[in-house]
Chain A
Amino acid sequence: MKHRKKGKTASPEFYSVVKSRLGGETITLCYQCGTCAASCPVAKITERFNPREVIRLSLLGERDEVLTGDAIWLCCSCYNCQERCPQKVEIADLMYALRNIAFKEGYIPNIYSEFASAILDNGRIVGVSKFVEKKRPDLGLPPLQPTGVDALRKILSATGFDKLQQKKEGA
């Protein structure tokens, strides 16, 4: 169990940062009933993710623990929690909001970073495997080429995504 010195929270204003982000607006409605945690298919199989705990840490200002940890990236976006939350906290959307904040700060698990590179390079999250490449001509399908990469790059550069991604890769 972690101990923090009495009376010291890292960033007491963190909840308002989250609240100002798209998807994070409803965070303060949470009264910690745990319906989300008990509904969560991920929490059922691993202790590394518990939506209620992520919200609680955020509300208590444990900013670094939330942003640098891997919990927020483990949400599988099934929206079960959001559907059942009695306070209408948009929990799944909140996880996106937290991920966005984390990414801006340069925190992103490698696997996601690889996805991002893959999108920028090929326009696809999942690369085309050797097996697929081989099989397609047999089925009379044309080989898969990177598609829409220019348009995607334009969009992602307009959002600043590419720079953040480069920063991450450089880091």
Chain B
Amino acid sequence: MGEVKVGVFLSDCGKQLSEILDFNALTNYVKKVSGVVLVARSSEFWRGKGLQFIVDAVKGGKTNRVVVAESLPKLSEVNIVQAVEEAGLNPYLVEVIDLKDHCAWPHRETPKEATEKAKAMLLAAIERAKLLEPIEKLEFPVLKSALIIGGGIAGMQAAVDLADLGFEVNLVEKAPFLGGLAARAGRFFPTDDCAICIQSPASDVKTITHTSRKCVYRSGFSEIPNLNILTNSKIVGVEGVPGNYKVTIEKKPTYVDELKCVACDLCTTICPVEVPDEYNAKLKTRKAIYMRVPNVHPPVYVIDESACKFHDCAKCVTICPTKAIRLDQKSKQITLNVGSIIVATGFQEWDSSIIKEYHYDDYPDVITNLELARMIDGFGPTGGVIVRPSDRKPAKKIVFIQCVGSRDRRWNPYCSSICCMISLKHASLIKSAYPDTDITICYIDIRTTGRQHEDYYERAREMGVKFVKGRPSEVSRDPETNKLIVDVEDELLKRILELDADLVVLAPAMVPSEGTKELAQIGLEPLLDEDGFFKEYNAKLRPTETRLRGIYICGGATFPKDAPTTSLHAHSAAIKAAKFMTTGKIVKDQRTAVINDEYCGDCEFCPVTCPYGAISLVSTDEEHIVAEVSDLMCEGCGICVGTCPLNAIELRHSRPNQMLVQMKALMSINGTSKPLVLAICCSECGHTAVDSSGMAMMQYPANVRVMKVPCTGILQVHQFLEAFRVGAQGVMVVGCKSDGCHYEVGIQKAEKKVELARVLLKEYGIEPERLEMYNMVFIEGDKFAEAAQTMTERLEKLGSLQLMGAS
């Protein structure tokens, strides 16, 4: 590495700072620090002449460690680091600090004290800079192919986007046909047009227009050249790393050769086995060989293996004119290598039979909204007529029950968000076709929050749909007439009603689709939330990303959604996946954890703790187990460092010795009459809270010194004790909000360690209240200033801390 030559560049921000801080004193002080070869002062160093000056100093070999005191370092650092890198110095040899918001402005009333604090801050930066090490850029390959799990509208829309962008797309659907819930729903709000309609793929050259949207069967979806559709297939395993996943898929047999079947329908005419048609809510039967509806993909027949008699019958084999039936077809294992994965597994209706008092499982005339959708559909089992399933007579009186199993703390505490609209849509559709139908909707709250949604509510009232505010307690049946009776309190009239009905329609909660849990077991379990849906990385900013690189989620798999939101979600996931794959590589700094094999061994703390699954265990020659960090997956938070009982892990960009010299330097000069406080802040919310208190010129005493760490999760108990040993009278640990840690769990780990350290302090005879944990975000600068003040006053009351053997 050669000799360390630190260049210190002091910006006075257009003399704003020199009115408070004594810059001559600072310059003279810095000059004397060992290792410093160059000290320069300017009005700004992050652009223009000032930045050129740094670049020239680096290029001329005058300095190989750059310390800059500049305002707004979170902005200026980006510029400085880029320029320094172009000048030929590793960007990790640059240290930028903020003498404005962290010193001059919050201490403007005590300029002398501020100057002394500035000295300590500069010394800390210089000492850290001396120990900094260059960090290399790494490259990892990314395959330009994606796996999309789920062939509903979310999966299909994402597939079109990615295929149009030129990526190889594999779409896997567990059912024999594409379409998901949309294929059964018939119509969607708020457009009232067919549910099974998607954007046109670019490969549809003959008929595509800027605005075209088409039924799946005529969209040319199945003919997109770089789209591989696997229906009747199941994911059985995922291995590998972001950018290069090896996916194993089991394609179950359909017993019909897709390439030979011409959908002539002769097979169904001869097939002797009839079973209830689950797709049509069991209101109809189908044969053991069947096609769902005429306009699905793939447009071929399949054999239901749970119903077919196979070789004992084989009538279809004889009649098939193209010899397409293959009764001996076996399931196939397919292996794919993909760069990214999009999970679009959707949602389904909750099993309403769990609420016994609604009798969904034993009264045939109690049905769900999805079953009603099949009846409304002209293609459906009743040809669009609304009937009582028990006797197939037209249903003249219909009662809807909202919130069946949703907003219910016993089953699904959340509001499923789309059921009010579904019931309003269905009520309106029935009323327009059969105006004399008597419809009552029993609701707790009607929620119509989207664009044009309130119109549905208004239209339903105009059409004469009745609304009763009250959740029914029970559905019973008159044994003579078979009529249903719904007990409900009309709360607005405060009257208990008994509504009679031909048909009761339940609006069940929407829950993760069947198999979600099973699918998650391929390594996605940590992504499930308490309700069983896939959880996004950040609801506000990254709604379709997960904390695992290369894995994206969209549509109903994340929460029940209407069609417009599902589309938005699908496009978002597609663009995120495309962004990840587009260059064919991941370029990433080795700003990661590194294991010291000499100390590491035979414990399993870090792999369990790492929120990104970046640490695995490997056996050594001496039959020890040691940890191994994936530079690709490590996000450089340091939570593993804080967890390791043997100090066997360090972060390359935040080593313990770097932290120690910083601590020592910050505590080496006081300059105030007050007890020194070390505020250890995480580089995310914690540090920005300090920024914002300074920006707003909130005053707190200059004895409070700030040290930045990547995440408070990196801290170990002994470091708190060390802070006291090097001269701190009090220690503040400032991190993100408990549920808002940028590294998932870092703050919770820190909270626990602070708690433990306080117990230890007590054992050592040190007042535990000298150490405290804080959770702050950027807009809480006032909270930081107040906490700094309170901590100072508390320490003044406690008196000076005397440690035996303290340096």
Write the chain A residue with the least CB distance to B357.
A84
Q: Is A132 in the interface zone, CB < 8 Å from B?
A: no
Given contacts A52-B491, A84-B357, A86-B471, contact A37 B409 (CB under 8 A): no
The answer to whether B494 touches A53 (Cβ under 8 A) is: yes
Q: How far is the CA of A43 from the CA of B496 in the complex (A)?
A: 8
The answer to whether B472 touches A38 (Cβ under 8 A) is: yes
Q: Is A50 in the interface zone, CB < 8 Å from B?
A: yes
The answer to whether A31 touches B496 (Cβ under 8 A) is: no
Q: Which residues of B contact A33 (CB under 8 A)?
A: 403, 444, 470-471
> Chain B: interface secondary structure?
loop
Q: How far is the CA of A84 from the CA of B358 in the complex (A)?
A: 11
Q: Is B410 in the interface zone, CB < 8 Å from A?
A: yes
Q: Is A11 in the interface zone, CB < 8 Å from B?
A: no
Given contacts A53-B494, A84-B357, A86-B403, contact A35 B471 (CB under 8 A): yes
Q: Which residues of A contact B473 (CB under 8 A)?
A: 35-39, 80, 84
The answer to whether A34 touches B409 (Cβ under 8 A) is: no
Q: Name the one of A31, A53, A80 contacting B444, with C-beta atoms under 8 angstroms.
A: A31
The answer to whether A34 touches B403 (Cβ under 8 A) is: no
What string of 1s and 0s marks CB contacts (under 8 Å) between B373-411 and chain A?
A: 000000000000000000000000000000100011110
Q: Is A44 in the interface zone, CB < 8 Å from B?
A: yes
What string of 1s and 0s marks CB contacts (under 8 Å) between B215-236 and chain A?
A: 0000000000000000000000
The answer to whether A86 touches B407 (Cβ under 8 A) is: yes
Q: Is A47 in the interface zone, CB < 8 Å from B?
A: yes
Write the chain A residue with the least CB distance to B491.
A34
Q: Is B474 in the interface zone, CB < 8 Å from A?
A: yes
Q: How far is the CA of A86 from the CA of B403 in the complex (A)?
A: 9
Q: How far is the CA of A31 from the CA of B408 in the complex (A)?
A: 11
Q: Which residues of A contact B445 (CB under 8 A)?
A: 31
> Chain A: interface secondary structure?
helix
Residue of B407, B410, B471 ringed by the most chain A CB atoms within 10 A? B471
Q: How far is the CA of A31 from the CA of B469 in the complex (A)?
A: 12
What string of 1s and 0s marks CB contacts (under 8 Å) between B167-185 and chain A?
A: 0000000000000000000
Q: Which residues of B contact A136 (CB under 8 A)?
A: none
Q: How far is the CA of A87 from the CA of B415 in the complex (A)?
A: 12
Name the interface residues of A22-49: CB closer than 8 Å to any CB of B.
Answer: 29, 31-39, 43-44, 47
- Tally of chain A residues near chain B (CB < 8 A): 21
Q: Which residues of B contact A35 (CB under 8 A)?
A: 471-473
CB distance from A25 to the nearest CB of B (A): 14
Q: Is B487 in the interface zone, CB < 8 Å from A?
A: yes
What string of 1s and 0s marks CB contacts (under 8 Å) between B407-428 and chain A?
A: 1111000000000000000000
What string of 1s and 0s marks CB contacts (under 8 Å) between B432-466 and chain A?
A: 00000000000011000000000000000000000
The answer to whether B489 touches A88 (Cβ under 8 A) is: no
The answer to whether B496 touches A44 (Cβ under 8 A) is: yes
Given contacts A39-B473, A39-B474, A84-B473, contact A34 B410 (CB under 8 A): no
The answer to whether A34 touches B407 (Cβ under 8 A) is: no
Which residues in B have some Cβ–Cβ distance to A below 8 Å? 357, 403, 407-410, 444-445, 469-474, 487-489, 491, 494, 496
Could you list 18 A-B pairs, sorted by A, with CB under 8 Å? A31-B407, A32-B444, A32-B491, A35-B473, A38-B473, A38-B474, A39-B473, A39-B487, A43-B489, A43-B496, A50-B489, A50-B494, A84-B357, A86-B409, A86-B410, A86-B471, A87-B409, A88-B410
Q: A33-B403, A86-B407 are in contact. List 20 more A-B contacts (CB 8 A).
A: A32-B444, A33-B470, A34-B471, A34-B488, A38-B472, A38-B474, A38-B487, A39-B473, A43-B489, A43-B496, A50-B489, A50-B494, A80-B473, A84-B357, A86-B403, A86-B408, A86-B471, A87-B407, A87-B408, A88-B410
- Top 4 closest pairs, chain A to chain B, by CB: A38-B473, A33-B471, A39-B473, A86-B408
